[in-house]
Amino acid sequence: MALKNKVKTGVADGILAPTSTFLEVTIRAGGKVTKGIVIIIIATGLATGLEGASNDRSKSRSCPYPADPINWVLGYCGYVVGTDDEITIQESKCFKNADADLKSKDECSINKKYKTKTCEFIIKQKYADYKSVDACLKDKKVKPFFAGE
């Protein structure tokens, strides 16, 4: 039996896609040669786990504000508190006040709310020169908070 191993991985909509390993198999038995492909899929997830892929909250794939809502809250509160220290942000009044929003099932509306709040804040503080909040909302450079970035 001869095996050729081909590995394929990918990222779709900012989410790590399953890793697939394709094995091309050639089997020789009794003078006959049979060829086939065996596909092995290894499911992988981000630090947040796979819960978003299986529950009602996961509507963000079609949302123009991708990421988990907590990342948008952390991003906004980081601006308000004036730090990128995740622990300090999570201990802030801003973050604690967002708890009710994080319990909502509509991820996209939470993401939009906190990207909007972020845009309003950075425009008011003159951290960026957008002509409107709508222009800021369309800017892909305004991103949620991710630890280590």
The pTM of this model reads 0.58
> Average pLDDT for residues 35-52, to the nearest whole number?
43
The whole-angstrom distance between residue 73's C-alpha and the CA centroid of its chain comes to 14
Give the other-Cβ count within 10 Å of 131's Cβ. 8
pLDDT tens sequence across 61-76 = 589 999 999 999 999 9
The whole-angstrom distance between residue 117's C-alpha and the CA centroid of its chain comes to 19
